[in-house]
């Protein structure tokens, strides 16, 4: 694991911890727990944690894209060219699908992800953008290397 990758993982964990603290609400009842929830069986409380997967993924992925552009003077053509690890939820670095493989090409669904992420390169590699596509096939958000935050696809 190189230093940049290590920093990305640490930032991912810090952002997740902040969002769990900032967006946590609790309720009682027999609600179905989702994978971004935690429960406390002894007091009957279910803790719901809002986790904007696509925003977090795109913000971290574009950091790797910027690093790639600085080093190679062009945009990456496929996900496997990036030094990037991601999974929605807890994971081990050795788990499958936490790093893009060459066969993923320009379309990658990380482990446990609710989205497919597209890498679109235009102008012979001079420009690129990353797009989050939901399970219904709708493009929701995108980010480009010159953007600070993802924006809705119009």
Integer Cα distance of 122 and 131 in angstroms: 14
What are the structural domain ranges in the chain? Answer: 1-154
- Return the pLDDT at 61: 93
Q: How many residues does the chain have?
A: 154
Integer Cα distance of 149 and 64 in angstroms: 14
- Return the pLDDT at 33: 31
- The overall pTM is greater than 0.75: no
- Return the pLDDT at 67: 95
- Return the pLDDT at 5: 61
Integer Cα distance of 109 and 118 in angstroms: 9
- Return the pLDDT at 132: 96
- Return the pLDDT at 52: 86
- Return the pLDDT at 29: 32
DSSP codes joined into one string, the chain: --HHHHHHHHHHHHHHHHHHHHHEEEEESSPPPPTTEEEETTTTEEEEE---HHHHHHHHHHHHHHHHHHHHSS--SSGGGS----BSSS--TTSTTSS--GGGTTEE--BT-S-EEEEEEEGGGTEEEEEEE-TTS-EEEEE-TT-SS-EE--
For the chain of 154 residues, list the mean pLDDT of each consecutive stretch of 10: 60 48 33 34 41 87 95 94 82 82 93 92 86 95 95 93
- Return the pLDDT at 59: 92
- Return the pLDDT at 10: 63
């Amino acid at each position: 694991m190189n230093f940049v990758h290590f920093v990305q993982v640490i930032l991912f964990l810090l952002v997740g911890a902040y969002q769990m603290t900032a967006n946590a609400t609790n309720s009682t009842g027999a609600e179905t727990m989702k994978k971004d929830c935690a429960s406390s069986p002894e007091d009957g409380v279910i803790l719901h944690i809002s986790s904007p997967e696509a925003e977090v993924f795109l913000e971290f992925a574009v950091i790797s894209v910027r690093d790639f552009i600085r080093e190679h003077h062009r945009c990456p053509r496929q996900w496997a060219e990036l030094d990037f690890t991601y999974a929605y939820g807890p994971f081990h670095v050795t788990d499958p699908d936490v790093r893009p493989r060459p066969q993923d090409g320009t379309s990658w669904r990380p482990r446990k992800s609710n989205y497919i992420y597209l890498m679109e390169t235009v102008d012979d590699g001079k420009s690129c953008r990353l797009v989050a596509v939901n399970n219904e096939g709708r493009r929701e958000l995108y980010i480009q290397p010159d953007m600070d935050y993802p924006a809705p696809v119009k």
